[in-house]
Amino acid sequence: MAKENQLTNAPRDEPRPQHALTVLGAGVMGVGITVLALGHGVPVHLVDLDRELLDRATERIADELRLAELMGSLPAATPPGALVTGTSLKVVAGATAVIEAVTENAATKAAVLSEVSALVRPGTPLVTNTSSIPVDELAGALERPEELVGTHFMNPPYLIGTVEVVRGARTGEPTMAAVATLLEALRRRAVVVRDAPGFVTSRILHPMINDAARVVEEGTATAEAVDTLMQGCLGHPTGPLRTADLIGIDNLVDSLRVLHERTGDDGCRPSELLLQLVREGRLGRKSGRGFYDYT
């Protein structure tokens, strides 16, 4: 897997391949989206400012590609796409689509998208993979706001076949068509929703997880008991607190804060237990401990 910036020298007037994806952010979601794309034969340039994080991400991507293949979640006989990693945003000039998967902070996302918007070829769809921030709130930072659309890939993206697609007030038809084509290449079912804080999935799921954490905090039940009841009685596939560990508790807290600020719903104010876990570095699977111990 190459580390050199192999795509930045392509002249702007050369025809682009059908799919050449740039993913911004080498965290949990950036890695998962990259695995999904590579496993479906789509080349990816993964960009992050942290070279050490990129090197660790390369190892995780190789491991998760093997896991996805073993689980039968990738198309058979499809050669994996090529992975290139780098620290420069200039690579987006050669992309057919850019997926931003940086931290769930509106100012950070807006700054990255603003810079990318000035570098991409006109007509290149810019996709913000946000769990809660309204798309149109970010679109104001772009030179061409009609090129921004939201997606909410669930973790891990290579195992979950449905993607929430968020159409902002200024998202254009060509952008929607381009994203639909990309998701079709990734064999993902797109469900389009209107723009709002948290959209559908986070607006329902994250307050529910928050309530589950409060039940544990109040001493009514253990995390395992909550999850067992939600699985056995209400059909939740993993339980809300195992889901929290998969999402990343820091990410969950960030999303809840966005929801609380933008909706005024006090049920979205992060519970003290969630905040305590973040302070202790117990962020879920990615740190080895959250509500459960994965070490």
Q: Which residues are catalytic?
A: 152
Distance CA 258, CA 219 (A): 27
Q: Tokens in use for 268?
A: 């979205």
Q: What is the DSSP string of the chain?
A: -B-S--STTS-TTSPPPS--EEEE--SHHHHHHHHHHHHTT--EEEE-S-HHHHHHHHHHHHHHHHHHHHTT-S-TT-PPPPEEEES-GGGGGG-SEEEE---S-HHHHHHHHHHHHTTSPTT--EEEE-SSS-HHHHHTTSSSGGGEEEEEPPSSTTT--EEEEEE-TT--HHHHHHHHHHHHHTT-EEEEEE--TTTTHHHHHHHHHHHHHHHHHTTSS-HHHHHHHHHHHH--SS-HHHHHHHH-HHHHHHHHHHHHHHH--GGGSPPHHHHHHHHTT--BGGGTBSSSB--
Sign of CA dihedral 166, 172, 173, 178: negative
In 10 A of CB 219, how many CB atoms? 7
Sign of CA dihedral 182, 187, 191, 197: negative
Phi and psi at 60, nearest 5°, equal -65, -40
